[in-house]
Structure 1
Amino acid sequence: MNITFENIETKGHVIKENDLYKHYHYPEMLTRYDSNFIAFKRMPAMHEFKEAEMFLRDFHVNNGQNHVKFLFPPNQNVSVELVEYFNMEGYTSGINELYAINPANFPMVPENPNIQVEKVNAKNYEEYLKLQYDQEIQFGENFAKEKVKLHQLRFHSNDVVQFIVFYQDKPVGAVDVILSEGIAEIDNLFVIDSMQRKGIGSQLQRNVMDLYQDRTVILIADGKDTPREMYQKQNYQLMGFQCEALKVYHK
């Protein structure tokens, strides 16, 4: 399949579109950066970026939001002029990398009787929510509470399957799998810090590969973070990159 960033789910509503960009807004989760942003359709000139920046800042202030976020066209580097502006204005810039794999190419994972992966259901749902909340509270109470709404929405969706993983009967990690035609997208994969390096994350992924053998498995990785190296070793193929810029305004 020709995998692009268009295959990645965007949880947000396009409320404005012009020749330059799409404006995404998600009133259900105002604190979620990945749902409230502007995605440029072509690389903006400096004056175009500043106009979009002013528009988004005013829009977010009116909605009680304290950030602005911008995505740039896939597989294009941001100009030196824009990078210098980001540095001067206190932006955090990053690169997202898109990876894909045929499940048959994922390495085998040694069986570990201490690790059990379960689909989230009525029986373990509260454990799943508490695990997620404890993981997300580091980003603020409002964010963690709003994220519960997303977990609940996904729990009742036919297009998302949630998994929780236990280590010696203790909940230690989770992953959501977003299903679309021919694709299984791995999202929100994590293992709590104290249980890292025990093969738990690999077992979660192995579970996805086994269940969705007839689909292409895709995910987004931070181009500046170490998990991308793990994905490369696991035979994921790099399909493209996308630059982003984020600024959070502190009160």
Structure 2
Amino acid sequence: MNISFANIHNFGNVIIEDELIQHYHFPEMLNYYSGNFITFKRMPSIDEFKETADCLKNFHLKNGQNHLLFYFPEGEYLDEELQQYLKANDYDFSYNELYKIHPNDFPSFTKNPNIVVETVKLETLDTFLQLQYNLDLEFGIEFAKGKQMIHKTNFYNENWKQVIAFYQGTPAGTLDLIVSEKTVEIDNFTLLESFRKKGIGKHMQKYVMEQYPNHTVILVAEGEGTAREMYRKQNYQFVSFQYEALIIF
């Protein structure tokens, strides 16, 4: 099947759309950057970018938000002029890569009995929430508190599955699954730093492949991060890329 960034879940809702942009807004958590952003439907000129940025900044300031996040058209590179403008105005810009895999293509391996991976149930929800809070603290206390509400809401979403991993009985990592008719998106894939490089992430992915053998599994990786190399070694196929620009004021 054809896969694109359009298959990736967005928390925000489109509140403004025209021939150039879609403006996503997530009032439930205003400091969640990934829910509050503008995506360009075509590559903007410098003047169009400036005007759009001014409008978004005014909107965010009225809502007490301190960031601007923009996504550019999938599969298109930023030209030199736009890159220079972003640099001169203190934007951080980078790109993400989209990957897919059929579960049958994920490598086989001997499982470690010390690693247990399972879907979060009501009995383990508090354990999941506490672990997730500890993981989200990397982005600040207010962010971690806000995400708790989202995690609780997602638990009751029939198209959302939360997965937790234990190492020798200790909670070690989590991931979210957004399930559609043909795809399963891996999101929020995180391990406590002290439990990394123990094969836990591999076991978590294998669990996903076993649970959804007839779906296409998709995920987004930072284009300049190290995880993308791991995914490629695990037989994920590169699909596309997308540039983004972020500024915090």
Letter in 2 for 1:215: H
Counterpart residue number, 1:46: 46
Counterpart residue number, 1:17: 17
User: What are the ranges of 5 or more consecutive residues in structure 1 without an aligned counterpart?
Assistant: none
1:133 and 2:143 aligned: no
1:187 and 2:187 aligned: yes
Counterpart residue number, 1:234: 234
Query: C-alpha distance in 1, partners of 2:94/2:149?
Result: 27
Counterpart residue number, 2:152: 152
Q: Any runs of at least 4 consecutive aligned residues in structure 1 with deviations exceeding 3 A, and if so which?
A: none
Alpha-carbon shift at residue 131 of structure 1 (Å)? 0.6
Describe the superposition over 1:96-141 as per-residue Cα deviations: whole angstroms up to 9, x where unpaired. Answer: 1000000000001321110001210111111101111111112111
Alpha-carbon shift at residue 72 of structure 1 (Å)? 0.2
Counterpart residue number, 2:6: 6
Task: Give the match's secondary structure for 2:235.
Answer: coil
Query: C-alpha distance in 2, partners of 1:60/1:110?
Result: 50
Letter in 2 for 1:233: K
Alpha-carbon shift at residue 226 of structure 1 (Å)? 0.1
Query: C-alpha distance in 1, partners of 2:108/2:17?
Result: 45
Query: C-alpha distance in 1, partners of 2:150/2:114?
Result: 29
Task: Give the match's secondary structure for 2:135.
Answer: helix
Counterpart residue number, 2:208: 208
Letter in 1 for 2:162: Q
Describe the superposition over 1:47-105 as per-residue Cα deviations: whole angstroms up to 9, x where unpaired. Answer: 00000000000000000000000000000001111111111111111101000000000
Letter in 2 for 1:236: Y
Letter in 1 for 2:187: D
Alpha-carbon shift at residue 40 of structure 1 (Å)? 0.2
Task: Give the match's secondary structure for 2:122.
Answer: coil
Query: C-alpha distance in 1, partners of 2:44/2:229?
Result: 31
Letter in 1 for 2:101: I
Counterpart residue number, 1:76: 76
Describe the superposition over 1:157-216 as per-residue Cα deviations: whole angstroms up to 9, x where unpaired. Answer: 000110100000000001111001200000011111111111000000000001100000
Letter in 2 for 1:59: F
**Aligned residues: percent identity?**
47
Query: C-alpha distance in 1, partners of 2:2/2:118?
Result: 31
User: What are the ranges of 5 or more consecutive residues in structure 2 without an aligned counterpart?
Assistant: none
Segment drifting more, 234-243 vs 142-151: 142-151
Letter in 2 for 1:117: V
TM-score, with structure 2 as normaliser: 0.99
Counterpart residue number, 2:169: 169
Task: Give the match's secondary structure for 2:19.
Answer: coil
Query: C-alpha distance in 2, partners of 1:107/1:32?
Result: 34
How many residue pairs get aligned? The number is 249
Counterpart residue number, 2:124: 124
TM-score, with structure 1 as normaliser: 0.98
Describe the superposition over 1:207-233 as per-residue Cα deviations: whole angstroms up to 9, x where unpaired. Answer: 000110000000000001000000000
Is the Cα–Cα contact under 8 Å of residues 109 and 203 in structure 1 kept in the other structure?
A: no
Query: C-alpha distance in 1, partners of 2:37/2:174?
Result: 26
Task: Give the match's secondary structure for 1:74.
Answer: coil
1:96 and 2:99 aligned: no
